[in-house]
């Protein structure tokens, strides 16, 4: 079946954007828990480290340029999604602030999204409690379409126009690729706005399909307006279109008109400017942004489009600001830094931080190497995995990927290797931000602790796994084996009996007999 969803609408007004919003509202936290919306590339300790470096650098530049820090530097994350990135960034900021002797309350992090369900999840997440309680973290609903203030749900006050005296720092990861854009077709110095017709395999109007299902079955057909554009109604967009027309390039180009409007609204909250850090997939140079066919939607639960990083560069530079962009040929994401400060600020530290942590080798390179290792575990020896985990800054997600290989290698570890592995496990655990995903590292970590003879830690992790994921016979058996190895025979017997009462489990039967024999031997010695 094929249903007509929309006959003809300007691209930025299409029904697809409403479906996108409905998708995030509908799925809430499950979008991340299920892995439907990819987020590892923008939510790992390494990318957070690069951002922390740029934020600390900005802080140092502002102090050097005479800004007084009566207020903290406010960092507003838009479309915060799972909250994992915020957790990593807060940790990295804490460490870097110590290294630079910056007081910990110099930064205030505001985690935002447009769905209350996400905020409700973050508010009670155990990993975020310390930051909430000491006031370093607050949360707010912020809708990039129209919010003009930030009402803080924990602090209770509202950040309004002119509230902030330091520049506002804004983070937008995987956000601009999924909010409305305008689409133009350029031909011989003329620009034409594009419209879409949307068909769908699902009957949206019947109300029997979810937004996710409808999105997965949509087909777009594009139409260019016959007459060339005169005015879009937005001065910034008009100036960009005129700039592009002067380039005499031909093809389709996405224009982030809503992105521009959102930056203006956020910038108005501060009396001294804005720093914008963005990671997304997209195009960096003007030439790359012009494509010969209309964009197709990349689908992953929600959908996304390539971000026009060049348009943001143009926006900032034409308003007296600066842009830091990577060399072309990035594979998965582009990390860009834009700033516009109202007073002269020497961006010496920021430029260095960008060059060192993004320009030379950045989040995209890190992700590229990670995927290579992830896809070839058979080539890895212990030292490769340890190096990968150190480079990842002890990322629990990566550990999870390498755990089966580590468990396989464990019987051959030397004593000193066991010690190093144990330390690395603890460091990764420190970075663990649970989302309740199915493929959780906890029981695998417990197995590895068992293999390296760290029975108390193994017991702790098996018990954690049982309390979080419910009773599993295999996990119970492993727990009993740990108790047996650490000499807690009665505890082992109790668990093994529980397993056998539930059904046939030959290994449990064998271990129970060994436990009973050992207990008998102990009582004979005592007599
Ligand atoms: C693709 S996810 C990215 C999440 C996270 N930043 C990351 O990198 O994994 C997009 C996020 O933006 C949020 N979002 C979508 N439209 C929005 C809007 N108009 N205003 C604010 N947030 C929005 C969604 O709820 C979702 O959390």
> What is the Å distance from ligand 1's center to 126 Cα?
22
Q: What mean pLDDT comes out for the span 186-208?
A: 89
At residue 264, the pLDDT reads 97
Q: Are strands 307-308 and 322-324 parallel, antiparallel or unpaired?
A: unpaired
Per-residue pLDDT band at 475 (split at 50, 70, 90): very high
Q: What is the pLDDT of residues 370-383, one digit of tens each?
A: 999 999 988 999 99
- Centroid of ligand 1 to alpha carbon of 24 (angstroms): 8
pLDDT in tens, 99-115: 999 998 999 999 999 99
CATH number given to 38-179+259-360:
3.40.50.150
In this structure, the residue with its CA closest to atom 23 of ligand 1 is 79
Is the per-residue pLDDT at 68 higher than 90? no
Centre of ligand 1 to C-alpha 21, Å, is: 9
Question: In angstroms, what is the span from residue 42 Cα to ligand 1's centroid?
Answer: 12
pLDDT computed for residue 195 by the predictor? 96
Lowest-confidence pick of 3-7, 84-88, 393-397: 3-7
Three-class DSSP labels, 404-449: HHHHHHHHHCCHHHHHHHHHHHHHHHHCCCCCCCCCCCHHHHHHHH
Shortest-distance atom of ligand 1 to CA 81: 27
Closest residue by CA, ligand 1 atom 14: 79
Q: Whose CA is nearest to atom 9 of ligand 1?
A: 39
**Ligand 1 midpoint to CA 128 (Å):** 19
**pLDDT tens for residues 393-431?**
999 999 999 999 999 999 999 999 999 999 999 999 999
> Nearest residue CA, atom 22 of ligand 1?
79
Best probe residue, ligand 1, of 75, 175, 178, 266 (max atoms within 8 Å of C-beta): 175
Which ligand 1 atom sits closest to the C-alpha of 84?
9
Q: What's the CA-to-centroid distance between 230 and ligand 1, angstroms?
A: 32
Residue nearest to atom 12 of ligand 1 (CA): 79
Pocket of ligand 1 (CB under 6 A): 21, 24, 37, 39, 42-43, 78-81, 85, 113-115, 118, 142-145, 173-175, 178-179, 302
Cα→Cα distances 216→104, 200, 212, 302, 314, Å: 45, 9, 6, 8, 34
**Above 80 in pLDDT, residue 391?**
yes
Which of 113, 277, 297, 437 to mutate to test ligand 1, by most ligand atoms within 8 A of the CB atom? 113
* Nearest one of 430, 406, 400 to 420, comparing CA atoms: 406
Query: Is residue 244 predicted with pLDDT exceeding 80?
Result: yes
What's the 112 CA to ligand 1 centre distance in angstroms? Answer: 9
Mutate to test the pocket of ligand 1, among 23, 44, 79 (most ligand atoms within 8 A of CB): 79
Q: Which atom of ligand 1 is nearest to the CA of 147?
A: 20
Note whether 129 and 137 are within 8 A (CB): no
How is domain 368-526 classified at the architecture level of CATH? Alpha Horseshoe (1.25)
Q: Name the strand (E) or helix (H) holding 182.
A: strand 182-187
Q: What is the mean pLDDT of the chain?
A: 93
Task: Provide, rounded to the nearest whole percent, the portion of the chain with pLDDT above 70.
Answer: 99
Question: Mind listing the pLDDT tens digit for each residue in 319-334?
Answer: 999 999 998 778 899 9
pLDDT in tens, 14-65: 999 999 999 999 888 888 888 787 789 999 999 999 999 999 999 999 999 9
Taking the C-alpha atoms of residue 505 and residue 513, their distance in angstroms, rounded to an integer, is 13
**206 confidence band (pLDDT: 50, 70, 90):** confident
Nearest ligand 1 atom to the CA of 113 is 22
Task: Assess whether pLDDT exceeds 70 at residue 236.
Answer: yes
CA–CA separation, 514 and 520 (whole Å): 10
Confidence band for 527, pLDDT divided at 50, 70 and 90: low
Query: Atom 27 in ligand 1: which residue has the minimum CA distance?
Result: 81
**CATH code 1.25.40.10 region(s) in the chain:** 368-526
Q: Tell me how far apart the alpha carbons of residues 274 and 310 are, in angstroms, rounded to a whole number.
A: 18
513 has pLDDT over 90: yes
DSSP states of 48-80 as a string?
HHHHHHHHHHHHHHHHHTT---SSPEEEEEES-
Q: Tell me the range of 87-96, 220-229, 463-472 where mean pLDDT is highest.
A: 87-96
Q: What is the pLDDT of residue 399?
A: 96
Residue the block writes with tokens 């009973």? 516
* All residues at 6 or more sequence positions from 17 whose CB lies less than 8 Å from its CB, including other chains: 179, 180
- What SS3 state is found at 277? strand
| Torsion of the alpha carbons at 437, 442, 448 and 450, rounded to the nearest 10 | -150
Radius of gyration of the chain (CA): 27
CA of residue 433 to ligand 1 center, whole Å: 19
Give the pLDDT score at 526: 59
Which regions of the chain carry the CATH code 3.40.50.150?
Answer: 38-179+259-360
């Amino acid at each position: 079946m094929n249903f007509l969803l929309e006959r003809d609408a300007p691209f930025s007004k299409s029904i697809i954007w409403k479906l996108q919003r409905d998708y995030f509202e509908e799925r809430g936290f499950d979008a991340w828990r299920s892995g439907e919306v990819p987020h590892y590339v923008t939510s790992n300790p390494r990318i957070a480290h690069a951002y922390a470096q740029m934020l600390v650098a900005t802080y140092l530049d502002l102090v050097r340029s005479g800004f007084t820090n009566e207020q903290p530097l406010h960092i507003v994350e838009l479309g915060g999604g799972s909250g994992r990135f915020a957790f990593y960034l807060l940790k990295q900021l804490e460490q870097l602030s110590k290294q630079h002797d910056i007081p910990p309350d110099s930064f205030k992090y505001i985690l935002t999204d447009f769905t209350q369900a996400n905020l409700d999840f973050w508010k009670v997440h155990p990993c975020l409690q310390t930051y909430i309680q000491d006031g370093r973290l607050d949360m707010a609903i912020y809708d990039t379409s129209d919010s003009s203030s930030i009402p803080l749900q924990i602090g209770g006050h509202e950040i309004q126009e002119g509230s902030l005296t330091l520049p506002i720092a804004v983070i937008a990861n995987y956000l601009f690729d999924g909010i409305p854009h305008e689409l133009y077709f350029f031909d011989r110095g003329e620009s034409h706005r594009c419209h879409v017709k949307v068909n769908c395999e699902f009957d949206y109007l019947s109300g029997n399909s979810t937004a996710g299902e409808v999105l997965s079955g949509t087909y777009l057909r594009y139409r260019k307006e016959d007459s060339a554009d005169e005015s879009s109604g937005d001065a910034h967009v008009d100036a960009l279109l005129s700039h592009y027309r002067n380039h005499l390039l031909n093809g389709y180009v996405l224009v982030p008109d809503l992105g521009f409007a959102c930056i203006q609204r956020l910038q108005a909250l501060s009396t001294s400017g804005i720093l914008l850090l963005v990671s997304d997939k997209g195009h960096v140079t003007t030439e790359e942004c012009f494509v010969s066919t209309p964009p197709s939607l990349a689908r992953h639960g929600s959908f996304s489009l390539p971000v026009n990083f060049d348009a943001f560069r143009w926006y900032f530079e034409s308003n007296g600001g600066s842009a830091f962009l990577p060399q072309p040929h990035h594979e998965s994401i582009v990390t860009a830094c834009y700033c516009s400060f109202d007073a002269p600020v020497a961006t010496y530290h920021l430029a260095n931080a960008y060059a060192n942590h993004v320009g030379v080798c950045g989040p995209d390179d890190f992700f590229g190497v990670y995927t290579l290792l992830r896809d070839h575990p058979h080539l890895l020896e212990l030292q490769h995995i340890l190096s990968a985990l150190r480079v990842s800054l002890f990322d629990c997600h990566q550990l999870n990927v390498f755990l089966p290989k580590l468990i396989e290698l464990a019987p051959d570890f030397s004593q000193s290797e066991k010690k190093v592995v144990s330390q690395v496990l603890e460091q990764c655990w420190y970075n663990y931000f649970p989302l309740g995903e199915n493929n959780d590292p906890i029981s695998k970590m417990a197995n590895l602790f068992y293999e390296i003879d760290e029975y108390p830690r193994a017991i702790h992790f098996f018990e954690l796994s049982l309390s979080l994921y419910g009773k599993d016979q295999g996990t119970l058996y492993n727990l009993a084996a740990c108790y047996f190895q650490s000499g807690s025979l009665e505890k082992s017997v109790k668990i093994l009996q529980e397993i056998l009462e539930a059904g046939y489990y030959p290994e449990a039967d064998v271990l129970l007999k060994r436990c009973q024999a050992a207990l008998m031997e102990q009582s004979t010695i005592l007599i």
